[in-house]
Amino acid sequence: MSDRIVVITGASSGIGAALAAEVARRGGAPVLAARREALLREVAARIGGKALVVPADVTRREENQKILDAALARFGRVDVWVNNAGRGITRPVSQLTDADLDEMFLVNVKAALYGMQVVLPHFRERSRGHLINISSMLGRVPFAVHRSAYNAAKHALNALTANLRMELRAEYPDIHVTAVFPGVVATDFGLNALHGGIDSRSLPFAQTPEEVAALIAEVIERPRAEIYTRPESQAMVVSYFAAEDVAEVESRPPFARPPR
């Protein structure tokens, strides 16, 4: 990690802020990007070191270019780009509106696509780099019905991530493309969900953002195509898709909740 320049979107809180601190702790230089400038500056002040703050709205392509330009102006290169910005929703499929879908795909898919497309020419020029997209377990196994359009968006992000990796493999073997699959993390994700939601930090089984950040830092140091932040998560995915009838799996927890 020493001296690596790591762009992190959604860095004002949660996983992004924790990852910025972990990158700095390991000797890297985090580039902190998010809309909330005051919070970004608080994160930068806490971690110190070579942190660069770039206020930006990553749902706009030109703002992703602004992040890259600022990083190159300060450091001369970018080694890793982490598309971490995202937002949830609390609404089942039967109630989804056009606006709900547009928001979920803008924030969770298009913003990441903009980041990938903006930094790729730089990575290709150097014939190296690492793109990391923060997905979700719900992008693998959509067991949270109320997250419907978020689940769909993360499934789409997974496909783009895998297809980019395949696209680059032959000509650019040193450009790595990784998907990260956290479960529930103790952040303000739930409170910030479209149409509101419960505070993820109140859930007893939530992982800490610091634990997730440490795992992302490890994949930066030793690149892999995919990582699950909980060891049991991959087994759940395998079990679900290996079932002869997934509807039978969906009739049991964690898919089907017991009556209250």
How many CA atoms lie less than 13 Å away from 39 in the CB half-sphere? 15
Q: Three-state SS for 139?
A: helix
Q: Is 150 a catalytic residue?
A: yes
Cα 180–233–91 angle (5° rounding)?
Answer: 75
* Pairwise CA distance, residues 204 & 216, whole Å: 22
Q: Which helix (H) or strand (E) holds 146?
A: none
Handedness of CA 159, 102, 89, 107 (dihedral sign): positive
From the number of C-beta atoms within 10 Å of its C-beta (0-12, 13-18, 19+), residue 101 rates as middle
* Pairwise CA distance, residues 237 & 239, whole Å: 5
Token pair for residue 69?
Answer: 């330009």
Q: Which residues fall within 8 angstroms of residue 254, CB to CB, at 6 or more apart?
A: 143
Going by C-alpha positions, the residue among 60, 63, 59, 43 that lies closest to residue 51 is: 43
Evaluate whether 179 touches 161 at the Cβ level (below 8 Å). yes
Q: Which of 114, 150, 228, 240 is catalytic?
A: 150
* Pairwise CA distance, residues 172 & 187, whole Å: 36
- Please identify every residue annotated as catalytic: 150
